[in-house]
Structure 1
Amino acid sequence: MKEITLGVGLAIEIALIIATILIISSHLRKNSRNNTNIQLNEQYYKSLFEENPDAIFIFDLNGKFVVANNAVSIYGYSVAELIDKPFSGFVLPNDLERVTAHFVEAVEGTATNYECSILDKEGQQREISVTNIPIFVNEVIDGVYTIIKDITKHKKAQHDLMEAEAKYRSLVENSLVGVYIMQDGKLVYVNPRLCEMSGYKCEELVGLNVSEFIYPEDLALVNENISKRFNNEIGTIKYEYRAIRKDMSVITFELYGSKIVYNGKEAIIGTVIDITERKNTEKMIKHMAYHDQLTDLPNRYLLREKLNEAIIASSQNNCRFALIFLDLDRFKAINDTMGHEVGDKVLIEIAERLKGCVNEKDIISRYGGDEFSILLPESGEQRAIEVAQQIITKLSLPLTFQHHELLVTPSIGITVFPNHSESLDTLIKNADLAMYHAKSLGRNNYQFFNEELNKKAQHELDMELNLRKAMEQNQFELFYQPQVNLETNQIYGAEALMRWIHPEKGIIPPDSFIPLAEETGLIIPMGEWAIRTACRQNQKWQEAGFSPITVSVNISAKQFFQSNLVEIVESALTETGFNPKYLELEITESITMDVERSITTLLELQRLGVKVSIDDFGIGYSSLNYLKRLPIDKLKIDQSFIRECPHDMNSNTLVRTIIIMAHLLKMKVIAEGVETEEQVSFLLSQGCKEAQGYLFSKPLPVSEFEMDYMQKRLEK
């Protein structure tokens, strides 16, 4: 029994020992885990402190460095150099008071965050972001834990960005072009220049739907281009459209735009330039090129374009059209007896009366001089007869000018497409032949083209024969019209003008034979004769002791484009010994239409030292886009522009435009047909210093020109 009791007690004791061991073991394991956690936390703290890329410090309550991590090296210091030193020695004076206040807040228990400037060891200013955290030990503040992040680069980038934005804003706000941003169909930004151009205040434009100021006819174009940009069909786009100003006037913009992201949403940014004045100028120049200055009717060049369009349309639609040519009978007599001013008024009145004979689809043009043409689309013989009869009736009514009653009748020729030809040039030629046939039948009637007009062709052959005979018998002479410097009133040159001295008919004016010479090709030998004669005569004057002058000779288009023009000019200069700098060749505007061929010939003439001018500038069609490429020395303003100056505002504007254009292209400019002192004053005020015309002298034969001008120059 005793042994049993002893056994139970031993078992209990053993159990207690085991339990004690387990408790001790559990306690030891717990202590071991706590120690491990402490060591782990110490490692965490050590890594966070020592490996942190930002500088970390502990300050005592007096603001002295107690501990620092190795990141302070980015400021050039070692940890040892900082310990026991106050932070105030590193802060810029301007920031010290604010930094101290933040430190005091941390000492008093409030964490703070701020930015300031310090100096690194090399004395360079560094921008930093500072976080101060109070250190509590047993619920008492024992120091301040400080983390600083170097934001120097960030601040510089921020400063650069602000500076760039300021520059951009200044550039945009003061730009000479309009700038806008559009989002959801509305303007969300506009610069002052756009407001100025549109007449709106900025606050009025912002929020306005673009459709509210776009010209209605251009709205579809604008919307289409906006859609293309938003759909990434195109990148940057350039196009023109019309807009309505606040005062309801219409202006034309040239727009450059592209897609951007603005305030997190897609938008369109763009610039606009007000090109209204440029478009008006282009329109005016184009109008000048295609319209007659006196009557404002389409000229022959526009007629040719419309004729070509009519031929194409009529061929496709299997229909006809009629072409009417008319010439005013005895119009030259009006000019000769009453002067060109009355003659011009007659032409203007005739143009107005012709407008009353046709409908809106018909095209009236002044073909040249006193010749007019009328294109009647989708018309045959019957319509042409009705219009021709109406013209004869209306033009037969008397005209009254300066208390004189004038009667002007027309001679009318008619061709019908395709009956009389399917060729543009042949239609014009046949209408012209029919017109002259009407004139030959007594005037004031109309005639259709027919084969009987071969008689007219025979007449031209006879004239051609007479022209050839005139060349063989030396019936041509050169007359000279002086060209005057308006500032000094001295002549500096003369234009050589061809005259046909017929043994029976006397002086035949150039208008009577030059066109035929052009058509038959006789103008080429006649032109060569004129060049050689002018060079020879001018050389004689110089050898006789007269002061040198520039002599200008007209060159026809056919002569200009002959293959050996340059060789002819060079040969004439060599044979006569004439200095090329005193020779000027006057070409027509039509030559500028074939730019590439023209440039080659003009450069060769320039190489010889010969000057080149464009004669009668403004009445034909000059390819203004290419005019700047041509080596031209001078533009000659046609007398029809000068005639109304300075009393007619339109004439003044046209003349001023030509002078400005010539000067911008580094060309001289001379006015033809000057007849009054008022015209001289106007030309001088516009910068035109050269002129010729009846105010100074009519064209003179050699003997009279010598006596009246060359001799007087020598005496002076």
Structure 2
Amino acid sequence: MLETERPRILVVEDERIVAQDLKLNLEALGYDVAGVAASEADALRNAQTQRPDLVLMDINLGRGGDGIRAAESILREQGAPVIYLTAYAEPETLRRAGATAPYGYLLKPIELRELNATIRMALARHAAEQRVVRAERRLRLALKAAQMGVLELQPGQDLTLVDGADLGAQGEGLRGFSLQPQDFIAGLQAEVREQVRGLLDRPQASLHLVTRWGGATEPARGSVVWLEIHAAHLADEGRVIGVFRDVSEQVRTEGLLRQAAVVFESAAEAILVLDREGRVLSANPAFCALTGWAGTEVQGRHPDEFLHARRSSDRGLLPAGGRVAEPQQAEVVCQRRDGTLFPAWEQLAPVRNPLGVLTHRVLSFSDISALRRAESRVHHLAFHDPLTGLGNRNQLDDSLRQWMADEGTGFAMLFLDLDGFKLINDTLGHAAGDQLLITIAQRLQSCLRVEDEAVRLGGDEFVILARVDQPEAAALLAGKLLEQVRLPVPAPKGETVRVSASVGIALYPAHASDGDALTKAADSAMYAAKGRGRNRYAFYTADLAARAQSRMQIEQGLRTAIAAREFSLAWQPQVDLRNGALLGAEALLRWHSPPLGTVPPDRFIPVAEDSGLIGELGQWVLEQALRQWRDWQRRGLAVGRLGLNVSALQLRDESFINQVRAALQLHGLAPEQLELELTESALQATEGAPERLRLLQTLGVRLALDDFGTGYSSLATLKLLPLNRLKIDRSFVHELETETRDRALVRAIVGMADSLGLGVIAEGVETEAQRQLLIRLGVLQGQGWLYSKALPASEFERYLRLHPLGG
């Protein structure tokens, strides 16, 4: 209430005449009557709506209620001062009224001057109390804003923390929280407890410290707070008064700052702290060690003045004006104090104050010279052959892209493959083979011009890219390369070795329009050169492309043919030439491909071997043939021998013998009924062939040497091989009637077989004259169209029913 305003008074009186008289008198004295109430309920309602400055309360309201109870509610809820006007002064009434702390108690009848004086004093007292309340509130709000609490410590009495930030006590704020002094002191760090105890004993003493506190009022979460305490023992007051505030966050921040300082001093990265304009404020030891600059030498200078080797291609992180305010990183070139340069990975980070305003920057960088050297080595390894130092397949791809990007410029690709390298590798060892490759690579390089390139694709394959676009020039270069390859190469133990090469030539853009096609063209030309006798070169032609396309189609078809059930077996009888009695049969693989039609074995078997599919294909043939043969045996149709062809790659596979053993056991076929047929070339290409054959023979399996006479077997080789039979190749049988040399060869083969204890069987018997000649020459077994072509299973089953088995 302002001093110029008229006090507003609520009159609570159940007697209407008395209430009206009071109203008139109060108005005469200069007061505003805010309302007149005759009951407890009316009094509470008027007090809530009118907000009077003072209430005159009759204690006895008759049936209208209890005036003391009404006064208690008004004081609690509205805070308005109450003066009792009553005719009662009994002890119990006075006790009840006194409990409400009234501002006056007047007995009826009331003298007007006394009423006026009582009202004035009550209003003055209430105004003074309100000023105190406002002052206390201001103090409480100030403490809250400063996040501070007040503590009061009296020797021998309770410790009281008043109206401030709590120490983890329950509730949001602190209003009169207290605990025993020893409990408060027990929560302090041990090293400061005596200081606090000494404060209690020494008047005029003061205390200013930061300490950890975890007292009895600590919350269930178990946190420990850090307190900043300022307190003094006031002798004239006889107590200790002080303030405290929770500085846990500041302590944590200071700890982080100390950690940051340790990181700054001990970091391996060079660090510069810069101001807003990018000038150096401080440098860490790593910076000094890396650059040779002392920290004092660079203070106040911009890094561009002494650190960055500025070049037109460099992208700096600190542009003029220093406006960049977001974290950045980049590779830059830095210079040391002595002027030497080094590549560095640099990071620039802004430092902002709590308001988000940029105050500093931190520039950190590290020397990445070792990383760049390692990357260079990795790049070299990625694009170069580690043995010869020539480029590798990656280098070839990269060079082809670059060379083909030169529009209007043609070039030649020469695909070179060494002839006979495997034999040298196998006989003299890999070390000798590696040295041979290194020497050949150096010789190839010596034939090239600066603008030409040589790469090693792997194994004994090399590719040369030459800046020539005329066939004559490419042929001349190929001749030089072949000549250099043929020169003798030193080998261990003072020996020398010689190899030759086959070279395929393809021209860009005449023969291909992209790198893959050009490589395939040169590769197919190289195979053509090798097929023509080796130690020569050949140019790519469209015919070679057709053959390469056909081969690719066959390889792709083979990869799905087994699952698609495109393979089948054909069965050709083997008979006694004297009487035609059935001795057994040879199972021959047939392939009918929907897109390719019927593909002959001499076309798809070499592709299966080259592509590595022969193992899966051979396993399928073994399983199918044994299953079918055993099925016919169970039905009494066949008890003779079963012949199966075996590839050199199958024989090389260490798991092949176990495959044969498992298949025989699975299908219940006697091992001696299975005869595996191997070619001379397969045995020559298989390292350790005699040992492999002996392991097969221990299973009881019989072994035949197929196409005998077309290879280069010697008697000494045959003596070492555990064979059971020789199969005379059809090329000797075909002209047996007219070619006396063929008859002489067959006679020699029979004699050699007899001397070695081997059986003999002839392939390709097609005429009666051939049969009779073979018998006269001592060949008693054969197979061919004279008896039957190779038959599908259903037709061969009918053949079995019509022809008896012989001995």
TM-score (norm 1): 0.44
Ranked by relative contact order (alpha carbons within 8 Å, sequence separation 6 or more), the top structure is 1
Q: Which has the higher helix share?
A: 1
